[in-house]
């Protein structure tokens, strides 16, 4: 074969995506663009940044992570879209907006599906967690590789009007929920008015009275400055939603097997590191909230809330009964 045919063949192969990048290019620096809705220092952001440092150390700075925190690239919907087309490589997102894309994941979005945070951790760390990551990675159109899980705490309702102690207290309140029908239905079945919108729109919506409040864990409520607009934080504990670290499938396919394995290895370590950071941050956030004079109230009768969301379980849980049973069986 003369040189020209070799080049031609090579180009054809490249067009088909079949040819591995020549050695000279393989050594080129790879900057993985990562994003998160949360600010620098937040447990998820910190864990991914540490992952980037490890990647750099292990590859002689050939691979690194450039973090875009604080919704610089938009809310989670935008982040998912950008990861799908390969405009960014790593996104740390809640399972919340992933439910409509990968139906099995929506089971994690059911109200009160986990008994407590420890139960959720055991599920993430065990075979169900692995299966769900694989379901996501193998999904024909989701366009994402599931790298690992992260803790997302327990979500509680906050609003600007009054403390929530019973289901009746939610009546008439407009509460922002994540963009997924299961959450709007959850809030509506609890008697409130669920309003779906991105995390990036929430502060403005509270400032302008488009909503009376929202629901989230303490670190998001605190670091997002939401407590400035909605000072009643009530421990409804209606959702415990695991978080995901995902990689753009399009970009993933361009990595060598070795680099994929390296990213995976450090992602698994990030899962455990984030957990430690999470519990520290939860405590720190509660301190900040107390100092700011926020009223945090417990909800004595959770059973009332659990009973009210039965229609949500009937609608979204019925088709995943076997999976739900396995989750409940994790002790
Ligand atoms: C936070 C999650 C983040 C979500 C946000 C939300 O960490 O991924 O975007 O809630 O409510 O707890 O949208």
The per-residue DSSP string of 82-103 comes to HHHHTS-SEEEEESGGGTTTSG
Confidence of residue 74 (pLDDT cuts 50, 70, 90): very high
What is the best residue among 96, 186, 274, 282 to mutate for testing ligand 1's pocket, by most ligand atoms within 8 Å of CB?
96
Averaged over 308-325, what is the pLDDT?
Answer: 98
Residue 149: how many other CB atoms lie within 10 Å: 27
What is the best residue among 152, 176, 218, 281 to mutate for testing ligand 1's pocket, by most ligand atoms within 8 Å of CB?
152
Name the strand (E) or helix (H) holding 35. strand 30-35
pLDDT at 145: 98
Averaged over 198-214, what is the pLDDT?
Answer: 98
Report d(CA 231, CA 210) in Å as an integer: 16
Q: Which domain holds residue 270?
A: 3-152+241-279
Separation of 310 CA from ligand 1 center, angstroms?
24
Q: Are residues 186 and 117 in the same domain?
A: no
Separation of 199 CA from ligand 1 center, angstroms?
7
pLDDT at 22: 53
Overall domain count for the chain: 2
Lowest-confidence region among 7-11, 203-207, 312-316? 7-11
**Which CATH number do you get for residue 10?**
3.40.190.170
Q: Are residues 81 and 192 in the same domain?
A: no
The label of the residue with tokens 């809640």 reads 94
Whether residue 36 has pLDDT greater than 50: yes
pLDDT at 12: 41
Whether residue 20 has pLDDT greater than 90: no
* Each residue's pLDDT tens digit, 62-73: 999 999 999 999
Ligand 1 lined by 158 (C-beta under 6 Å): no
Ligand 1 lined by 217 (C-beta under 6 Å): yes
Strands 174-177 and 144-150: unpaired
Ligand 1 lined by 178 (C-beta under 6 Å): yes
Q: Are residues 17 and 51 in the same domain?
A: yes
Q: Are residues 133 and 232 in the same domain?
A: no
What is the best residue among 46, 48, 76, 200 to mutate for testing ligand 1's pocket, by most ligand atoms within 8 Å of CB?
76
Atom of ligand 1 nearest to the CA of 176: 11
pLDDT at 16: 41
- Average confidence score pLDDT of the chain: 94
Separation of 37 CA from ligand 1 center, angstroms?
7
Q: Are residues 133 and 175 in the same domain?
A: no
Whether residue 226 has pLDDT greater than 90: yes
Residue nearest to atom 3 of ligand 1 (CA): 94
Q: Are residues 144 and 206 in the same domain?
A: no
* Each residue's pLDDT tens digit, 285-307: 999 999 999 999 999 999 999 99
Ligand 1 lined by 93 (C-beta under 6 Å): yes
Cβ density class 291-300: b for 16+ within 10 Å, e for less? eeebebeebe
Q: Are residues 220 and 131 in the same domain?
A: no
Cβ density class 202-236: b for 16+ within 10 Å, e for less? beebbeeeebbbbbbbbbbbbbbebbebbbbbbbb
Q: Are residues 199 and 167 in the same domain?
A: yes
Q: Are residues 102 and 225 in the same domain?
A: no
The label of the residue with tokens 């993985």 reads 32
Higher confidence at residue 4 or residue 300?
300
Residue nearest to atom 4 of ligand 1 (CA): 94
Q: Are residues 208 and 262 in the same domain?
A: no
Whether residue 273 has pLDDT greater than 50: yes
Ligand 1 lined by 71 (C-beta under 6 Å): no
Confidence of residue 6 (pLDDT cuts 50, 70, 90): very low
Which residues sit opposite 94 in a β-bridge? 243
Separation of 257 CA from ligand 1 center, angstroms?
32
Q: Are residues 121 and 192 in the same domain?
A: no
Which residues sit opposite 110 in a β-bridge? none
Report d(CA 118, CA 324) in Å as an integer: 17
Ligand 1 lined by 215 (C-beta under 6 Å): no
List Cβ neighbours of 230 (8 Å cut-off, separation of 6 or more).
Answer: 158, 159, 160, 206, 212, 213, 214
Separation of 18 CA from ligand 1 center, angstroms?
38
pLDDT at 26: 54
Q: Are residues 302 and 174 in the same domain?
A: yes
Strands 174-177 and 193-196: parallel
Separation of 193 CA from ligand 1 center, angstroms?
19
Residue nearest to atom 1 of ligand 1 (CA): 220
pLDDT at 202: 98
Q: What are phi and psi of 182, to 5 degrees?
A: -60, -30
pLDDT at 261: 98
Report d(CA 237, CA 232) in Å as an integer: 14
The label of the residue with tokens 């379901």 reads 135
pLDDT at 23: 53
Q: Tokens for 203? A: 């502060």
Separation of 245 CA from ligand 1 center, angstroms?
13
Ligand 1 lined by 224 (C-beta under 6 Å): no
Strands 155-159 and 213-216: antiparallel
Averaged over 154-182, what is the pLDDT?
Answer: 98
**Percent of the chain having pLDDT more than 70?**
92
């Amino acid at each position: 074969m003369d040189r020209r045919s070799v080049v031609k063949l090579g180009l054809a192969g490249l067009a088909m995506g079949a040819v591995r990048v020549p050695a000279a290019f393989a050594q080129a620096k790879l900057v993985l663009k990562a994003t998160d809705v949360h600010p620098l220092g937040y447990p998820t952001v910190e864990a991914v940044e540490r992952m980037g440092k490890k990647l750099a150390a292990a590859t002689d700075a050939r691979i690194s992570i450039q973090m875009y925190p604080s919704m610089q690239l938009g809310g989670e919907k935008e982040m998912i879209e950008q990861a799908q087309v390969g405009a960014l490589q790593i996104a740390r997102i809640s399972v919340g907006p992933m439910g409509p894309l990968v139906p099995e994941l929506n089971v994690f979005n059911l109200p009160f599906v986990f008994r407590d945070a420890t139960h959720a951790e055991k599920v993430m760390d065990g075979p169900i967690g692995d299966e769900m990551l694989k379901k996501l990675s193998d999904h024909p159109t989701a366009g994402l590789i599931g790298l690992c899980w992260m803790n997302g705490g327990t979500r509680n309702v906050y609003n600007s009007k009054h403390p929530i102690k019973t289901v009746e207290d939610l009546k008439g309140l407009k509460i922002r929920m994540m963009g997924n029908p299961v959450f709007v239905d959850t809030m509506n079945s609890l008697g409130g008015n669920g309003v779906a919108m991105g995390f990036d729109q929430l502060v403005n919506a509270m400032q302008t009275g488009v909503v009376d409040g929202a629901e989230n864990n303490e670190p998001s409520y605190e670091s997002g400055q939401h407590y400035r607009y909605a000072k009643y934080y009530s421990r409804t504990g209606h959702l415990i939603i695991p978080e995901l670290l995902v990689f753009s499938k399009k970009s993933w396919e361009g990595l060598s097997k070795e680099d994929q394995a390296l990213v995976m290895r450090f992602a698994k370590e990030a899962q455990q590191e984030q957990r430690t950071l999470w519990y520290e941050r939860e405590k720190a956030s509660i301190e900040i909230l107390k100092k700011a004079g926020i009223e945090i109230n417990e909800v004595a009768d959770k059973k009332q809330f659990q009973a009210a969301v039965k229609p949500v379980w009937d609608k979204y849980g019925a088709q995943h009964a076997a999976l739900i049973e396995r989750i409940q069986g994790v002790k």
